[in-house]
Amino acid sequence: MSVLDEVKAERLRQRSRWGAEHDQGHSWWDWQGFMRLRLRLVEPNQAGPGERIREDGIVRRRRRALIELAALAIAAIEANE
């Protein structure tokens, strides 16, 4: 599965969980807050410079957070069209 397919699947998951009507009720400030929460999971805070992190740990969680963040950005665009 490509990264774009993963983002699309995440967006569909979000839409099925929350519904399109729910998304329509959020302001741009709300969307920024949601995205900031996801960004916090991507910030390097567990490893020092040049330190390798095991794939089954933080790297995978950060990757997942970025997929969720991309899907959230799409949701924000869809909700404000």
Do 3 and 67 meet the contact criterion of CB atoms below 8 Å apart? yes
CA atoms within 13 A on the CB side of 35: 16
Q: What is the pLDDT of residues 64-81, one digit of tens each?
A: 888 999 999 999 898 887
Confidence of residue 10 (pLDDT cuts 50, 70, 90): very high
Q: Classify 76 as helix, strand or coil.
A: helix
pTM above 0.85, yes or no: no
Q: What is the pLDDT of residues 11-58, one digit of tens each?
A: 999 989 987 777 777 888 888 988 888 887 777 655 555 555 555 666
